[in-house]
Amino acid sequence: MASNNEKTGAVGKTLYVTDLDGTLMRNDETLSAYTIETINDLIAKGLAFTYATARSIESARPIAGGLHLELPAITRNGAVLAENATGKHLERATFSANEVELLKELLPELPKYGFVSCFLGEEMHRLYLDCEHTPALQGYFDYYAANPTVRPVPSFAELFCGEPGYVTLIGAKEEIRPIYERVREYKGWETLFQKDTYRDEFWLEICPQNCTKAKTIRKVAEKYGFDRLVVFGDGINDIPMFEIADEAYAVSNALPELKEHATGIIGCNEEDAVANYLKERMGE
């Protein structure tokens, strides 16, 4: 097999990073057996590969746990580096005490629209108040009903117990946008507002400063000695990592706004586009 750099003519080591939802994953929120087998075979032959996702590692592993990653998974939009094989948190960012108080002040709607991801020891728990929720948020809780780390707490203050590291609000665009406009004024954290990949609802995600896919990918690249970066994505939150990459490929189902930043367009997420591209790229 031609090496990564022999095939591309690049100098140095190349890191390949893909988004999950809508990119590596199919629309039924799974990875095909073909994608898992193909990527694992390429990793065994030297491919430096990982994923970057807004999902927590606890949410990503049931989908991507079959990938034999040698590099940390980039989760929570860069707030948590974790082992894909075990779910262990390797590095995690949290809000300061002052930022927690500011979040409480700026988010009186949080019980209705969202939840807080808090680190309690070695586990991350998604905490919410047992009250009336938006249909979109209630659907999220129903989906994770059997998960003991997605659970209600008795008071607003206890939403922020342990070490809070991520805040998520889910609802209709017109409901969430005003909240986004309010919280984005503070520059000490990162905010992301976008439509869900699979449904019509909109998500507002707030995480500690310097926690974005792009910034954390750069940190991983520097730590492990990579000097070239190739990325794959489909959504608005992938634009920053497209902008820092040497090459950036959008799946054909990607949003038009992302395609404007792409080196090229590959196939659809339903057709194992990333795995097929990597297989061809690596000379298999």
pLDDT band at 109 (very low <50, low <70, confident <90, very high): very high
Per DSSP, the three-state class of 35 is: helix
pLDDT tens, residue by residue, 23-77: 999 999 999 999 999 999 999 999 999 999 988 898 899 999 999 999 999 998 8
How is residue 110 written in tokens?
A: 């949080």
Task: Give CA–CA dist 265/274, Å, rounded.
Answer: 11
Q: pTM to 2 decimals?
A: 0.82
Beta bridge partners of 152: 128
How far is 251 from 265, CA to CA, in rounded Å?
A: 6
Q: Which of 193, 233, 199, 198 is nearest to 213 (CA)?
A: 233
Alpha helices in the chain (DSSP H): 4-8, 33-44, 57-64, 97-106, 110-113, 135-143, 173-183, 213-224, 239-244, 256-259, 273-281
Backbone phi, then psi, for 25, in 5-degree steps? Answer: -85, 150
Q: Tens of pLDDT along 175-212?
A: 999 999 999 999 999 998 988 777 789 999 999 998 88
Return left, alpha or beta for 56; rule: phi > 0 is left, psi -120 to 50 is alpha, else beta.
beta
**230, two tokens:** 């190739």
Residues 186, 102 contacting (CB under 8 angstroms)? yes
User: For the packed helices 33-44 and 273-281, what is the interaxial angle rounded to 10 degrees?
Assistant: 30
- In the DSSP assignment, the letter for residue 52 is B
* % of the chain residues with pLDDT over 70: 95
Residue 243, φ and ψ in degrees, nearest 5: -70, -25
- pLDDT, residue 211, reads 87
DSSP 11-34: -S-EEEEE-IIIIIS-TTS---HH
- For 71-94, what is each residue's pLDDT tens digit? 999 998 898 999 999 999 999 999
- What are the C-alpha distances in Å from 241 to residues 106, 238, 277? 29, 6, 18
pLDDT (0 to 100) of residue 210: 85
152-180 tens-digit pLDDT: 999 999 999 999 999 999 999 999 999 99
Q: Which of 63, 4, 31, 23 is nearest to 235 (CA)?
A: 23
Confidence of residue 122 (pLDDT cuts 50, 70, 90): confident
Residue 7 has pLDDT above 50, yes or no: no
What pLDDT is stored for residue 284 in this prediction?
57
20, 58, 191, 236 alpha-carbon torsion, rounded to 10°: 10
Judge residue 13's burial from the number of C-beta atoms within 10 Å of its C-beta, 0-12 exposed, 13-18 middle, 19 or more buried.
Answer: middle
| Structural domains in the chain plus CATH codes | 4-92+212-281 (3.40.50.1000), 97-208 (3.30.1240.10)
Judge whether 116 and 167 are in contact, CB under 8 Å: yes
Residue 3 has pLDDT above 90, yes or no: no
Mean pLDDT of 209-230: 94
d(CA 86, CA 146): 20
Residue whose entry in the numeric block shows the structure tokens 């999950």? 20
pLDDT at position 279 = 95
pLDDT at 94: 95
- Arithmetic mean of pLDDT over the chain: 92
Closest of 63, 66, 20 to residue 43, by C-alpha:
66
